[in-house]
Amino acid sequence: MTGFALARVELVLLIPLAAAALLALLPGYRLTARLNVAATLLTFLAALALLFTRHPAPGPYLLVDDLNVVFIALNTFVGFTTSVFSASYVGHELETGRLTPTYLRFYHAMYQLLMCAMNVALMANNIGLMWVAIETATLTTVLMVGIYRTHEALEAAWKYFILGSVGIALALFGTILVYVAAQPVIGEGLDAMVWTKLVAHAAKFDPALLNVAFIFLLLGYGTKVGLAPLHAWLPDAHAEGPTPISAVLSGLLLNVALYAVLRFKILMTANAAAVAPGPLMVTMGLVSLIFAAFMLYRRRDIKRLFAYSSIEHMGIITFAFGMGGPLANFAGLLHMTMHSLTKSGIFFAVGHVAQAKGTQRIADIGGLTETHPWLGWSLVAGVVAIAGLPPLGIFMSEFLVVSSTFARAPLLAIPLVFGLLVAFGALFLRLNGIAFGEPRGETHPVKASYGPLFAHLALVLAAGLYLPPQLVAWFQHVSQLLG
């Protein structure tokens, strides 16, 4: 039985890896795009199998528990829908000549490698392995951001690479410090890097060393989450890369980095003498939220606009997890799920909008609901969702974050609500120009794939109207794990 269970765990990692090797070799757009979709679908099914069966016992490298299974399921699902969107997106890019067949092959291989690295990071029970996986995920996305080889794309990739490496270097230093703290208690060797063992013995670690380690880890992985003031790479990387990559970056990679922070937060709370990680995360979250909310007003590029919106939402999620406690953690988890679905959905729409209009400049996009009704209205629906209007899922999770903050720390709720309202105003101001009014700019027909977009929006709407009790129970259980 355990052998079977282990095989399932490895399937989630091996399918993307094998697909990456295969896609690197195969030529042809139609075949490879379909293979890409098939591989992500298979990975998603394997992850679902993990969700509905008993978890295997944790090994020295891999771990599946109730916390990361949520992340893995979300990760593979959005990976699958994005690959469907990507198939129609890259088809258009090939026709317009922005991508060559060689680069397409490279793109598909990197996409699968990224999926594999993110799944490894989510399943890692070893803090060293987790670091390696996040580093690999970063490098693959750097390569994909630079794939168009325009001036802007190269600059964005370079900036992302430099800032990402600095972040990842700080995270490694933090990881080494955690090992140094664990070594006198657990002993030398592999065991002192295994997360489950670290948590079991965390109470006996030197608290001062753990504090310093956590600061490095928070800054390091926080760079990857896109928390201000280390967010500078994020808008550029989102705006200049292929749109499927923007969707995966916003919807998934930011979550993966946040997941790493959460794992170390659990470690910190297990040690009573160490400084509470909450206030640090609350501060970084609030700063990111308010900063990004104001930055939203001055955006001229549609993808940059939604990239700043991602910083804003990662700020809210970090804030919620920083507050801690069952309700805020529940709200954070829900918000993370809803944000992933909504934001990648928005990027699906934005990708087609940019193709239909031949530009990403907001000033050149107007009256979309008249020229492209389906695309325009689904973008409107997405923005309504991301801005947090009822009855969609994000309204519910934001409501929970705000109400739990009001109950426990009313003073913190003031900047939180302020940031939310500022961002709300900015989004609708921009949406008004993009979706309504006189049609502006050139217009091309576009073969859009609405399936993934509608699937995401439907899920967000469904979650806003009715959350199944099983799901609520599951999230509540995970919230308690988070402490």
Partner 1 sequence: MPNLAFDTSHLLAGGLVLVSFVLLYQDRLYSMLNVYALHALVLALAVAWQANIQNAPHLYVTAGLALGFKAIIIPVALRRIVERLGIHREIETVVGIGPTMLAGMALVALSMVVMLRVTTEATPIAREDLAFALAVVLLGLLIMVTRRNAVSQVVGFMSLENGLVLAATGAKGMPLVVEISVAFSILIAFIVIGIFLFRIRERFDTVDVAALDQFRGERR
Distances (CA, A) of 24 to 88, 139, 201: 19, 17, 44
Q: Is residue 149 at the binding interface for partner 1, with CB under 8 A as the rule?
A: yes
Q: Is residue 39 at the binding interface for partner 1, with CB under 8 A as the rule?
A: no
Is 103:147 a contact under the CB 8 Å cutoff?
yes
> Could you tell me the smallest distance in angstroms from the CB atom of residue 66 to partner 1?
26
Which residues, 6 or more positions from 145, have their beta carbon under 8 angstroms from its beta carbon? 153, 156, 157, 160, 237, 240, 241, 245
The b/e string for 54-66 (b: 16+ C-beta within 10 A; e otherwise) is: eebebbebbbbee
Please pick, from the candidates 158, 297, 374, 454, the single residue that binds partner 1 as defined by CB under 8 A.
Answer: 158
Q: Is residue 230 at the binding interface for partner 1, with CB under 8 A as the rule?
A: no
Nearer to partner 1, 154 or 412 (CB): 154
Nearer to partner 1, 308 or 321 (CB): 308
Contact range with partner 1 by CB under 8 A, out of 24-32, 128-136, 257-265, 306-314: 128-136
Q: Is residue 257 at the binding interface for partner 1, with CB under 8 A as the rule?
A: no
Q: In whole angstroms, what is the distance from residue 318 CA to residue 296 CA?
A: 19
Q: Is residue 155 at the binding interface for partner 1, with CB under 8 A as the rule?
A: yes
Q: Is residue 24 at the binding interface for partner 1, with CB under 8 A as the rule?
A: no
The distance from CA 124 to its chain's CA centroid, rounded to whole angstroms, is: 17
Please pick, from the candidates 12, 69, 239, 482, the single residue that binds partner 1 as defined by CB under 8 A.
Answer: 239
3 state SS of 62: strand
Q: Is residue 476 at the binding interface for partner 1, with CB under 8 A as the rule?
A: no
Please pick, from the candidates 31, 53, 95, 152, the single residue that binds partner 1 as defined by CB under 8 A.
Answer: 152
Q: In whole angstroms, what is the distance from residue 462 CA to residue 299 CA?
A: 31
Contact range with partner 1 by CB under 8 A, out of 130-138, 313-321, 343-351, 372-380: 130-138
> Could you tell me the smallest distance in angstroms from the CB atom of residue 154 to partner 1?
6
Q: Is residue 229 at the binding interface for partner 1, with CB under 8 A as the rule?
A: no
Q: Is residue 179 at the binding interface for partner 1, with CB under 8 A as the rule?
A: yes
Cis status, amide bond into 56, omega within 30 of 0: no
Cis status, amide bond into 101, omega within 30 of 0: no
The distance from CA 447 to its chain's CA centroid, rounded to whole angstroms, is: 27
Q: Is residue 268 at the binding interface for partner 1, with CB under 8 A as the rule?
A: no
Nearer to partner 1, 241 or 367 (CB): 241
Distances (CA, A) of 455 to 105, 115, 185, 265, 462: 27, 20, 49, 33, 10
Q: Is residue 275 at the binding interface for partner 1, with CB under 8 A as the rule?
A: no
Q: In whole angstroms, what is the distance from residue 304 CA to residue 209 CA?
A: 39
Please pick, from the candidates 23, 40, 80, 135, the single residue that binds partner 1 as defined by CB under 8 A.
Answer: 135
Q: Which two tokens stand for residue 171?
A: 């995270």
Q: Which two tokens stand for residue 81?
A: 């829908």
Please pick, from the candidates 20, 67, 123, 193, the single residue that binds partner 1 as defined by CB under 8 A.
Answer: 193
Q: In whole angstroms, what is the distance from residue 78 CA to residue 47 CA?
A: 12
Is 76:43 a contact under the CB 8 Å cutoff?
yes
Which of 354, 344, 306 shows the shortest CA–CA distance to 89?
A: 354
Nearer to partner 1, 37 or 113 (CB): 113
Q: Is residue 95 at the binding interface for partner 1, with CB under 8 A as the rule?
A: no
Total residues in contact with partner 1, by rule CB under 8 A: 52
Q: Is residue 129 at the binding interface for partner 1, with CB under 8 A as the rule?
A: yes
> Could you tell me the smallest distance in angstroms from the CB atom of residue 99 to partner 1?
15
- Angle between helices 278-295 and 410-435 in degrees, nearest 10: 30
> Could you tell me the smallest distance in angstroms from the CB atom of residue 206 to partner 1?
5
Contact range with partner 1 by CB under 8 A, out of 91-99, 209-217, 283-291, 337-345: 209-217
Considering only residues 293-352, where is the footprint of partner 1 by CB under 8 A? 298-301, 304
Q: In whole angstroms, what is the distance from residue 191 CA to residue 170 CA?
A: 22
Q: In whole angstroms, what is the distance from residue 365 CA to residue 261 CA?
A: 38
Nearer to partner 1, 11 or 169 (CB): 169
Residues in contact with partner 1 by CB under 8 A are 126, 128-129, 131-132, 135-136, 139, 142-143, 146, 149, 151-152, 154-155, 157-158, 161-162, 165-166, 169-170, 172-173, 175-177, 179-180, 183-184, 187-190, 192-193, 206, 208-209, 211-212, 236, 239-240, 298-301, 304
